[in-house]
Chain A
Amino acid sequence: GDSVTQMEGPVTLSEEACLTINCTYTATGYPSLFWYVQYPGEGLQLLLKATKADDKGSNKGFEATYRKETTSFHLEKGSVQVSDSAVYFCALSRNSGNTPLVFGKGTRLSVIA
């Protein structure tokens, strides 16, 4: 079945450091890919998405590129801030049918000043 694997955390970075959170997927066909973010005490919210190969999703300084050849969707940010501390989830959905999203296990990021 479809699955998402993301790097295990926690990840601790100093402010202004570069961030990469790896995400790879297994799916039939051509899924859409998402990154969600969960701030403390809140539900998940969509951070960015990409719907086809080579698409780049971006938001709030975060970027991720849909790489079909490596089945990857790594999350990157050039300079993290303390306010980026959260749990990040990679997810996929099939582009057909009614199957709900499949999530990775999440990566906790802590940014220290």
Chain B
Amino acid sequence: NAGVTQTPKFQVLKTGQSMTLQCAQDMNHEYMSWYRQDPGMGLRLIHYSVGAGITDQGEVPNGYNVSRSTTEDFPLRLLSAAPSQTSVYFCASNVRGTSPLHFGNGTRLTVT
């Protein structure tokens, strides 16, 4: 049972660089979401998707793009990295919006 798989686990970027954080789930969940975790701030929702082809913004969407071309994958793109995006990023999925979330193990991103 792979569950939710995130890659990479660690990444260091320079300001202005772009990258994609990958997220894949093998549970056939319709709902997927991206959170960032910062000290003292808890988890904040970046973007979410209620199904293939459908995405919506969360609490802190600026600087991030997402797309959902398949049920399994939900990549998060940073177009021009900024130091304020230094954080731990978690991808999660669930059967529907009200059901418990399954989380990946996170990607620790540092932007210098």
Which A residues fall within an 8 A CB radius of B? 32, 34, 36, 41-46, 49, 89, 93-101, 103-106
Contact = CB atoms under 8 A, between A and B. Distances in A.
21 contacts: A32-B98, A42-B105, A43-B4, A43-B104, A44-B90, A44-B92, A44-B103, A45-B103, A93-B97, A94-B97, A95-B98, A96-B98, A98-B31, A98-B50, A98-B56, A98-B96, A98-B97, A100-B33, A100-B45, A106-B42, A106-B43
B97 A99 contact: yes
- Secondary structure at the B interface, as helix, strand, loop or mixed, is strand
A42 B103 CA distance: 9
B53 interface: no
Contacts, number: 53
B101 A46 contact: yes
A105 B40 contact: yes
B58 interface: yes
Interface residues of B, number: 24
A49 B100 contact: yes
Nearest to A90: B42
A43 B103 contact: yes
B25 to A, nearest CB: 12
A105 B98 contact: no
A105 B105 CA distance: 18
Interface string B7-42: 000000000000000000000000101010000111
